[in-house]
Amino acid sequence: MAVKGVDILILVNGTIVGGQRGATLSESVETIETTHKLTSGFKEFEYGFGEWTVSADGVYIKGDAGYVALRDAMRNKQKVTLRIQEEGVNLEQGQALVTSRELEGAYDGEATYSVEFQGTGAITPVVA
């Protein structure tokens, strides 16, 4: 069964960030080259360190507790617990740094925000 994007929510320290429209979880892993003379002329690799990031955007809602939490965390240089929820069920979570935040007030449209998180450590499944 397909999941609608509208059903994927970002929570910061347990509070939903209101007005959210989009969210992207990106995971990547470095590779370590292990090639040597006996690898038949082909390079070989092993997994190295991994990392994850989340970017999100939405409509700015004045006084929204989730937005205030991420704004304050960035200004106070505090890590946040970032949780991804799908259809009301907590899926994954991890510690993250709020690395950027933008608030845009368009002349002819709604005010919007965008935010970037850098994961620190692993993102793990939430055990129910």
Query: For the segment 18-67, what is each residue's pLDDT rounded down to a tens digit?
Result: 999 999 999 999 999 999 999 999 999 999 999 999 999 999 999 999 99
Mean pLDDT of 5-22: 88
- Structure token digits, residue 57: 């955007």
**Pairwise CA distance, residues 120 & 77, whole Å:** 13
pLDDT band at 8 (very low <50, low <70, confident <90, very high): confident
Name which of 35, 39, 54, 46 is nearest 95 in CA terms: 54
* Predicted model pTM: 0.89
